[in-house]
Each structure stands twice: as C-alpha cells, then as structure tokens.
C-alpha cells in the first residue's frame, strides 16, 4: 500500500460519539445561555462547515475554547460506555497489518481516546494519540507527524468525518479520506474533493488493492 502511516480522527470516525456530543452540548448550552440542538436539526447541521455551525448556533468565538475544555471533561465519565462505529474494529485490525504506523489526531482529550480504545481492546494498534485543543489546528499537527516519521506527503493518509478534517489535510499537503458515517454529510464532504470518500468501514480495504 502506498500509505505507510494512517492517522485517524476519533469522534465520528472511530467512536460513535454524535449522540453523546449533542447531549453534552445541550447541557453546556444551558450554562452558557445558548440554544440547544434538537434531534430534528442534525440533518441540517451535517451540511455545515465549522464556521457556519458556530454562527448558526450563535456561539461567541470567545466561548469555543471553554466549551471544548468542559465538553471533553464531561465526556470522560461515559467514554468507556460509548460504542464503536460498526465494522471499524475488524477493519482497523486488518489495516494495521499492512502499514508501518497507526495514529490518532483528535480535538478530544488523549485520556478519553486512550480509555475508549482500551475498553474496546484496540489500544495496542496505535503508536500515538495526538490532540489539538484548537478546532482548526490540525494542519500544523499533521505536518509535524509527517516529519516525525520522515514521510513523503503521499505516504501518509489522514482519515476523518468532518469538513475541517479534509481542509486541514489539504492545507498540510497530506492525502485525506473522508468517511460519510460521521458528522458531515456525504454531499458536503464530496464537494471538498477528498482523495477518498468512504461510505462503509470495509471500503478502507480498497486501499489494499494494487493501484
């Protein structure tokens, strides 16, 4: 396989955290004086970029860091009870056999990711868990990861479920696979022209085919 290192987003890509994230956000919204997100809104929100989402919900930019910090802390209590995206355990185990390095780059807390992976018996698959507290800070981290492992651009692949994951990868000059089972919709992800667009976890196995 051309990609020697696979780096995964966590929320929505590996872990099925959408419902828990909405629950936590709604609890915080009451404290911050923000309006809550109803289940019927999710389909509409899935078409939005991060900037559009923040504006739509009326979240002041100065509040974003505090929301992230408190939200990741609140998630810690339930993280080991959350489910994995169906089919991902088997696919991750198979893909790991064909690449040199597996890692995670997330906006979630490393302790949350570590606890989740251990609860599902998958922590040993991953060499590293990298985190950024900035929602738009992934490009810098992707460049750093590539340099750490002395990789050419095409030898690394980032995998995520949000528009910001695709944009960060493109900014960093790293190939990107967008998965459609997470937060952003297939249509919005396809419009950003990722290198790969996967609708089911087993689609990852296409990376193993000769090119």
Q: Express each pLDDT in 7-65 by its tens digit.
A: 999 999 999 999 999 999 999 999 999 999 999 999 999 999 999 999 999 999 899 98
Question: Total structural domains in the chain?
Answer: 2
Beta sheet of 196-198, edge-to-edge order: 128-131, 101-106, 5-8, 156-160, 176-179, 196-198
- For residues 53 and 120, membership in a common domain is answered with no
Q: What is the pLDDT of residue 139?
A: 95
What pLDDT sits at residue 210? 58
Q: Name the more confident of 61 and 191.
A: 191
Longest dimension (CA), the chain: 53
Same domain, 28 and 63: yes
Query: 34-71: buried (b, 16+ CB within 10 Å) or exposed (e) per residue?
Result: beebeeeeeeebbbbebeebbeebebeeeeeeebbeeb
CATH number at residue 131: 3.40.50.1000
| 94 in the same domain as 68 | no
Q: Are residues 134 and 62 in the same domain?
A: no
pLDDT band at 1 (very low <50, low <70, confident <90, very high): confident
Range of 49's domain? 18-80
Q: Do both 33 and 124 map to the same domain?
A: no
**Averaged pLDDT for residues 73-102:** 96
Over residues 55-84, the pLDDT tens digits come to: 999 999 899 989 989 999 999 999 999 999
Average pLDDT over residues 115-134: 94
Q: Are residues 45 and 64 in the same domain?
A: yes
| pTM for this predicted structure | 0.94
Question: How does residue 133 score in pLDDT terms, banded at 50, 70 and 90?
Answer: confident
- Reference 78, options 112, 54, 37; nearest CA is 112
**Rounded to an integer, what distance in angstroms lies between the CA atom of residue 208 and that of residue 146?**
21
What's the rounded Cα separation, in Å, for the pair 85 and 100? 23
- When pLDDT is averaged across residues 110-129 and rounded to a whole number, the result is 97
Count of helices and strands (H, E) across the chain: 9, 6
% residues pLDDT > 90 (the chain): 91
- Tens of pLDDT along 168-181? 999 999 999 999 99
Instruction: Reply yes or no on whether the pLDDT at 197 is more than 60.
Output: yes
Judge if 12 and 22 occupy the same domain: no
pLDDT for res 191: 98
Residues 71 and 109 in one domain: no
């Amino acid at each position: 396989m051309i990609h020697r290192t696979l780096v995964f987003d966590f929320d929505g890509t590996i872990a099925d955290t959408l419902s828990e994230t909405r629950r936590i956000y709604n609890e915080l919204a009451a404290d911050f004086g923000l309006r809550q997100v109803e289940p019927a809104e999710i389909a509409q929100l899935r078409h939005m970029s991060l900037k559009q989402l923040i504006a739509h919900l009326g979240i002041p930019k100065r509040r974003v860091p505090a929301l992230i910090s408190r939200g990741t802390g609140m998630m810690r209590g339930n993280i080991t009870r959350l489910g994995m995206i169906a089919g991902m355990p088997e696919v991750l185990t198979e893909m790991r056999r064909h690449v040199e390095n597996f890692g995670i780059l997330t906006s979630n807390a490393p302790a949350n990711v570590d606890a989740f992976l251990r609860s599902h018996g998958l922590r040993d698959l991953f060499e590293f868990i990298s985190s950024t507290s900035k929602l738009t800070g992934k490009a810098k981290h992707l460049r750093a990861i590539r340099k750490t492992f002395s990789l050419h651009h095409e030898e690394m692949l980032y995998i995520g479920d949000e528009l910001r994951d695709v944009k960060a990868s493109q900014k960093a000059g790293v190939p990107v696979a967008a998965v459609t089972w997470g937060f952003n919709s297939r249509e919005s992800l396809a419009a950003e022209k990722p290198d790969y667009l996967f609708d089911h976890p087993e689609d990852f196995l296409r990376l193993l085919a000769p090119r």
